[in-house]
Amino acid sequence: MYDYHVLLGILAIIAGLVGEVLYIKDIVRGTIKPHPFSWFGWGILDVIILSAQTVRGGGAGAWVMGVAAVVNIGIAIASLRRGEKRITQSDWICFIGALLGIGLWIVTDDPFWAVIVAAVVNCVAFIPTFRKSFVRPFEESLTIFVFDIIKFGLSIVALQALNPTTALFPAVSAISNIVFVAMVLFRRRQLAKRGRGDTPRQ
């Protein structure tokens, strides 16, 4: 009998790849400026969560994390040249905090607590991108974040072992992406009403 988890796992990967390819095209075109601190943090976290989900039997639902790890680290490297250059002190604090959280994960034996730490670190890593996009909402593409919401939703359903360890991180990631998309849309509309000269990008 065909396992639907495999199909959903593949669909989650495709959704993620579509958003990531479109995002990379925007980076190459120079229409967006991703924050390297966020993307390096997310790439490292994806490796962590892939390991934790695999240990706890995540199966096909964990595939998406492996693909995301490779792509996110690639985006982070690209953003060093084409991304956000205005790094603030708070960005550094968040980045160092994320690295400390990753270090805490390394000494955490229980995969569940490791995922809790990773979920918190994921939100901390989001702060530089959130701050930058709040100030300059037209310098960020929403496409990848929308596709990530779909990706993480599918990956949860695709998990062959659905438990807090395997589902917590993708659930937190989906929620943080929803909040981010809503914030950027709100800020774009707010700035447009103020008569700013920015041109919306998707």
pLDDT digits (tens, 9 = 90+) for 97-134: 877 877 776 677 777 787 788 788 889 989 999 999 99
* Domain coverage including residue 31: 4-193
| Whether pLDDT at 66 is above 90 | no
Residue 87 counted as domain residue: yes
Residue 67 counted as domain residue: yes
Residue 20 counted as domain residue: yes
Residue 200 counted as domain residue: no
Residue 198 counted as domain residue: no
Looking at residue 134, its pLDDT comes to 95
How many Å separate Cα 115 from the centre of its chain?
Answer: 15
Strands, E assignment, 51-191? none
Residue 17 counted as domain residue: yes
Domain count, the chain: 1
Instruction: Please state the pTM of the whole predicted model.
Output: 0.78
* Inter-CA distances, 194 with 66, 130, 136, 137, Å: 42, 21, 14, 14
Which range is least confidently modeled, 24-38, 43-57, 151-165, 172-186?
Answer: 43-57
- Band (50; pLDDT cuts 50, 70, 90): confident
> 């690639």: which residue's tokens?
74
Which amino acid is located at 8 in the chain?
L
User: What is the three-class DSSP state of 15?
Assistant: helix
Looking at residue 91, its pLDDT comes to 87
- Band (55; pLDDT cuts 50, 70, 90): low
Residue 58 counted as domain residue: yes
The set of long-range contacts for 112-117, using a CB threshold of 8 Å and a minimum separation of 24, is 112/164, 112/165, 114/48, 114/52, 115/49, 115/52, 115/164, 115/165, 115/168, 115/169, 116/168
Average pLDDT over residues 35-40: 90
